[in-house]
Structure 1
Amino acid sequence: MNRLQLTASIVEREVLRYTPAGVPVAGCTLQHHTEVVEAGIARQVELTLPALAAGEVSGRIEGCVMGVEMLFTGFLAKKHRNARTLVFHITELQDIGKD
């Protein structure tokens, strides 16, 4: 199963674009900070991740306030067919009420 849930905030946003079929696509960069326990030791995790949303979700991405933490759900896929880099494809997002 390829499913990812991540609490993060949008730190960069690209201009809304459209596929040749007319589907809106919103690209952005997400930033995540958390503390996790690994092998009994607390570890700080910070990362930035390229992401995109297509269709109805793209409009919701456009409406998000930058820097506000949200819960993003989706999947990981290659950026292009032969690429090694991954992109987080957002299929759902939820306001978690944090500033």
Structure 2
Amino acid sequence: MNRLQLTASIVEREAVRYTPAGVPVASCTLQHHTEVVEAGIPRQVELTLPAVAAGEVSGKMEGCAMGIPMLFTGFLAKKHRNARTLVFHITELQDLGKD
């Protein structure tokens, strides 16, 4: 199964573009900071990750304030067939400040 949930903040955002079929696509960069325990030892984890959202979710992502933690759900895929870089494809997002 390819499913990722990540609490992160949007730190960069590009203008919405449209596919030839007219589907809106929003691209951004997410930033994540946390502490996890690995082998009994606390470890600081910081990462940035390129992400995209298509369709209705792209509009929701565009409405998100930058720098505010959100819960993003989706999957990882290569940027294109021969790429080595992974991109987080967002399928759901949730404002952590709202119940």
Give the TM-score category using the shorter length. Answer: over 0.9
Unpaired runs of at least 5, structure 2? none
User: How big is the shift at 1:65?
Assistant: 0.2
- TM-score, normalization: structure 2? 0.98
Q: How does 1:81-92 map to 2 (within 5 A)?
A: 81-92=81-92
Give the 4+ runs in structure 1 shifted more than 2 A: none
User: How big is the shift at 1:69?
Assistant: 0.2
Aligned length in residues: 98
Per-residue CA deviation, residues 17-47 of structure 1 (Å, 9 max, x unaligned), is: 0000000000000000000000000000000
**Counterpart position of 1:33:** 33
**Alignment partner of 1:97 is 2:92:** no
Unpaired runs of at least 5, structure 1? none
Root mean square deviation, CA, Å: 0.9
**Counterpart position of 2:23:** 23
**Counterpart position of 1:62:** 62
Q: Alignment identity in percent?
A: 89
Q: How does 1:32-51 map to 2 (within 5 A)?
A: 32-51=32-51
Letter in 2 for 1:6: L
Q: In 2, distance between residues paired with 1:15 and 1:97?
A: 25
